[in-house]
Amino acid sequence: MRIAIVNDKPMVVDLLNNIIGSSPHSVAWVASNGADAITQCVNDLPDLILMEMVMPGMSGVDASKSIAAATPCPILVVTASVAENASMVFDAMGAGALDVVETPVINADGVIQGEKEFFTKLRRIEKLLGLANPRTARAIDIEMPAVKINLLAIGSSTGGPNAVAQVVKSLPVDFPAAIVVIQHVDEAFAGGFAEWLNTQTALGVKIAKNGDKLKHGTIYVASTNNHLIYGGTGRLKYTDQHQEIVYRPSVDVFFNSLDEYWKGNMLAVLLTGMGKDGASGLLRLRKKGVYTIAQDEETCAVYGMPRAAAEMGAAETIQPLENISQVIKQQMKNLT
- The residues annotated with a catalytic role in the active site are 157, 184, 277
Q: How far apart are CA 57 and CA 59, in angstroms?
A: 6
Whole-angstrom distance, CA of residue 60 vs CA of residue 53: 4
Angle made by CA atoms 157, 220, 65, in degrees to the nearest 5: 30
Pairing of strands 105-106, 99-102: unpaired
User: In angstroms, rounded to a whole number, what is the distance separating the alpha carbons of residues 2 and 329?
Assistant: 45
Give the DSSP letter of residue 84. Answer: T
Q: Which residues contact 11 (CB under 8 A, 6 or more apart)?
A: none
Residue 301's H or E segment, with its range, is none
Q: In what order do the strands lie in the sheet with 291-295?
A: 204-207, 218-221, 178-183, 150-156, 265-270, 291-295, 317-319
* Residue 246 and residue 121 in contact, taking contact as beta carbons nearer than 8 Å: no
Burial of 174 (0-12, 13-18, 19+ CB in 10 A): exposed
Instruction: Report the amino acid identity of residue 84.
Output: E
Q: Which amino acid is at 310?
A: A
Distances (CA, A) of 306 to 80, 168, 169, 321: 33, 18, 21, 12
